[in-house]
Amino acid sequence: MAIKRNGCEGCTDITCVSTQQVLSQDVAKNVKTAYDRVKARGMSACLFGSSGTCCRNCNMGPCQIIDGVDDMLGICGATADTVAARNFARTVAAGSAAHTDHAREMVKGFIEAAKGEGLHQIKDVDKLKKLAADFGIVTEEREVKDIALELGEKALAEFGKQDDAPLSMLKRATPKRQALWQKLGIAPRGIDREVVEMMHRTHMGVDQEYHNLMLQASRTALSDGWGASMLSTELTDIMFGTPVPRRAIVDLGVLKLDQVNITVHGHEPLLAEALCIAAQDPEMLELAKKQGAKGINLAGVCCTGNEILMRRGIPVAGGFVQQEIVLATGAVEAMVVDVQCVMQSVAEVAKNFHTDIITTNYRAKMPGGIHIQFEEHEALNSAKQILTHAIKNFKKRGKCFIPKETKMDVVVGFSHETINTMLGGRFRASYRPLNDNIINGRIRGVAAIVGCDNFKLADDTHETIVRELLKNNILVLATGCAATSLGKAGLLNPEAARFCGDSLREVCETVGMPPVLHMGSCVDNSRILIAATEMVRQGGLGDDISDLPAIGTAPLWMSEKAVAIGQYFVASGAQVVFQNLPISGAKNFNKYLTEGLMGEVGAHWNIASEPLEIARIMIEKIEAKRDALGINKKKERVLFDMDMRRDLGGGPLKDVGCHGPTAS
């Protein structure tokens, strides 16, 4: 049920229960949110902007192009296809740049950890050795520290690499995919280089052929997915531990009345990890006590929240669309932010309360925020300085409202490694049982639901799509804010098996796993690339990602990063469905993205505006892949043999004891 806000005539309908509860309170009555601003602006989005045909790449413009109308070319003669393709490619470049800069920080933090300097250590030595092997590093009879240092330096070199050899981690892709990238000339060479070349080629008067522009857009996106993001995920796991299934809670009810509430918002796990460690420091706990608080309650927002949720079980208060609402409770002493997806409005909302917005990264400051630079080389001290500031705010807390009832149990922490043991049991760790379940039809296929949420569209879009997929026995992988919203909807716990079709329900119940597997932050979409490749390698489902009965969607995409992710999925052979893309004003380019790419990379973009339509497309594409693989012939039930039952019974999920929404 949607509500209108108190005292707000024109507010948009809000379907999220915890958001409704907070905004209908007196304490939030002066808070203006993005929902209000969306409503106030109405549907007045610029037609040229939303259809992709506005160009301001030089000062002869801005030019607004109408496809097929001679007088409405750019001053330079640029056509609608060229302009839309350049804009799209720049979006991919910006998204990739965001992941790249994040990843670079992680590599630098990793090098410090390898040197034994600073707060963090090497936690996952097995994973370190595996990744080192991809970089051709000798690991036998060597100290962990030496391997890690060599790996860190080689990883850092991937960013500035100037030769034309492909990035080291591309070797992880299927042989067929690697050959295709080589043939098309889109195997990324240096991570930074691809973004720079993309910006150059979209400069006025350079690349004016949309197919050619898209080749570089693919190469740029691949340098993100198989380069920056994958490096970031892997090195973060090595440093902070590879996620394993664990229980946690999400939604605004995770805030605590009697504790100092500090929300961590943004993306880089170095800061968040340091805060987690500092929050357990006796000195900090003592300070909190002195201020009258019973403890320090850290809660995540957006992807930084997903990082510490996955590895530490720290609760997530909300996703992207709830960043203002978290503050509107009046119960937050400080929101500590770093980079990406932090709305400038949080500083405005905070003005209504005792809350401070603490910016911590020199790249990202905002008016009204307090800047305390987070120094990685003295991470603990930096983190304590930030916490001290927040804790001292506790006494100033005035009236507040925490929607205590709205919190949901989740089971999270499904790294690509976990999937090996999840269905495979402890006797034979592999993707074989997953593949077998897909081949025998119990699981029809795999859908990845990733990316943001977005004020322009209904909050429950993810839930609507996923429920439909589950009914159709499709296993769902989730990351980013999509995962948070599915968690809030109760779909990330094993009880949600009841929403599945019979055969998927049986699989989930046998193993005790949720039907929606939370795989992490948006950077962790690289885990999905690895998981998909592992499915191919296991055999029986074709010889490339493009053969798998698998598909992705980012239905509520907001950030440019989501477009970069979509493009690296497509260039890796996975179909994606988005709710809209700014390409509709360019006929040929639109057709190329939504059809033509298939002939080149074996996948293309799909666009559908309604949630159920998105689900329908996903189901149809998955079934079509099954037909092509010839695995739709045998429809009869295949009973588990003894081996399989034993394996399914012995998986690690049993140890989590994950059953039901019973958060306290």
Q: Which amino acid is at 319?
A: G
In the complex with ligand SF4, the residue whose CB is nearer, 93 or 476, is 93
Burial class (CB within 10 angstroms; exposed 0-12, middle 13-18, buried 19+) of 45: exposed
Min separation Cβ 55 and ligand SF4, Å: 3
- Tokens 């060229």: give the residue: 82
Please say whether the beta carbons of 50 and 582 come within 8 A. yes
In the complex with ligand SF4, the residue whose CB is nearer, 77 or 599, is 77
Min separation Cβ 198 and ligand NFS, Å: 19
Residue 16 annotated as binding site: no
CA angle (463, 485, 355) in 5-degree steps: 155
Min separation Cβ 523 and ligand NFS, Å: 7
Quickly list DSSP for 501-530. Answer: -HHHHHHHHHHT--SEEEEESSTTHHHHHH
Q: Out of ligand NFS, ligand SF4, none, which partner does residue 61 contact, by CB within 5 to 8 A per kind?
A: ligand SF4
Strand ordering across the sheet containing 370-371: 370-371, 356-359, 334-337, 260-265, 296-301, 316-318, 246-250, 408-412
Nearest-angstrom CA–CA distance, 327 and 634 = 54
Q: Out of ligand NFS, ligand SF4, none, which partner does residue 481 contact, by CB within 5 to 8 A per kind?
A: ligand NFS
In the complex with ligand SF4, the residue whose CB is nearer, 76 or 199, is 76
In the complex with ligand NFS, the residue whose CB is nearer, 114 or 303, is 303
**Rounded to whole angstroms, what are the CA distances from 330 to 50, 252, 389, 566?**
36, 12, 17, 37
Q: Out of ligand NFS, ligand SF4, none, which partner does residue 512 contact, by CB within 5 to 8 A per kind?
A: none
In the complex with ligand SF4, the residue whose CB is nearer, 205 or 599, is 205
Nearest to 448 by CA among 621, 576, 319: 576
Min separation Cβ 220 and ligand NFS, Å: 17
- Tokens 């070199």: give the residue: 157
Q: Is 246 helix (H, G, I), strand (E, B) or coil?
A: strand
Residue 452 annotated as binding site: yes
Q: Out of ligand SF4, ligand NFS, none, which partner does residue 60 contact, by CB within 5 to 8 A per kind?
A: ligand SF4
408-412 and 246-250 beta bridge pairing? antiparallel
Min separation Cβ 202 and ligand SF4, Å: 9
Contacts of 282 (CB under 8 A, 6+ apart): none
Residue 267 annotated as binding site: yes
Residue 341 annotated as binding site: yes
Q: Out of ligand NFS, ligand SF4, none, which partner does residue 561 contact, by CB within 5 to 8 A per kind?
A: ligand NFS
Token readout for 259 is 């504790």
Nearest-angstrom CA–CA distance, 305 and 302 = 5
* Segments in 557-603 forming alpha helices (H): 560-571, 587-591, 597-601
Enumerate binding residues for ligand NFS (CB under 6 A).
267, 302-303, 319-320, 341, 451-452, 480-481, 521-522, 558-559, 561-562
In the complex with ligand NFS, the residue whose CB is nearer, 253 or 319, is 319
Min separation Cβ 551 and ligand NFS, Å: 18
In the complex with ligand NFS, the residue whose CB is nearer, 195 or 535, is 195
Min separation Cβ 326 and ligand NFS, Å: 13
CA R_g for the chain? 24
- Tokens 């090098």: give the residue: 111
Please say whether the beta carbons of 448 and 552 come within 8 A. yes
Min separation Cβ 310 and ligand NFS, Å: 13
Residue 46 annotated as binding site: yes
In the complex with ligand NFS, the residue whose CB is nearer, 147 or 519, is 519
In the complex with ligand NFS, the residue whose CB is nearer, 99 or 129, is 99
Residue 54 annotated as binding site: yes
Enumerate binding residues for ligand SF4 (CB under 6 A).
55-58, 60-63, 74-76, 78, 83, 204
- CA dihedral 120→278→303→88, nearest 10 degrees, is -70
Burial class (CB within 10 angstroms; exposed 0-12, middle 13-18, buried 19+) of 29: middle
In the complex with ligand NFS, the residue whose CB is nearer, 300 or 445, is 300
- Most distant pair of Cα atoms in the chain: their distance: 73
Nearest-angstrom CA–CA distance, 413 and 246 = 6
Residue 102 annotated as binding site: no
Residue 303 annotated as binding site: yes
Min separation Cβ 521 and ligand NFS, Å: 6
Nearest-angstrom CA–CA distance, 325 and 273 = 24
Nearest-angstrom CA–CA distance, 53 and 67 = 8
Q: Out of ligand SF4, ligand NFS, none, which partner does residue 522 contact, by CB within 5 to 8 A per kind?
A: ligand NFS
Min separation Cβ 203 and ligand SF4, Å: 8
Per the annotation, binding residues for [4Fe-4S] cluster are 46, 54-55, 58, 63, 76
Annotated binding site for [Ni-4Fe-4S] cluster: 267, 303, 341, 452, 481, 522
- Which residue numbers belong to the known binding site? 46, 54-55, 58, 63, 76, 267, 303, 341, 452, 481, 522
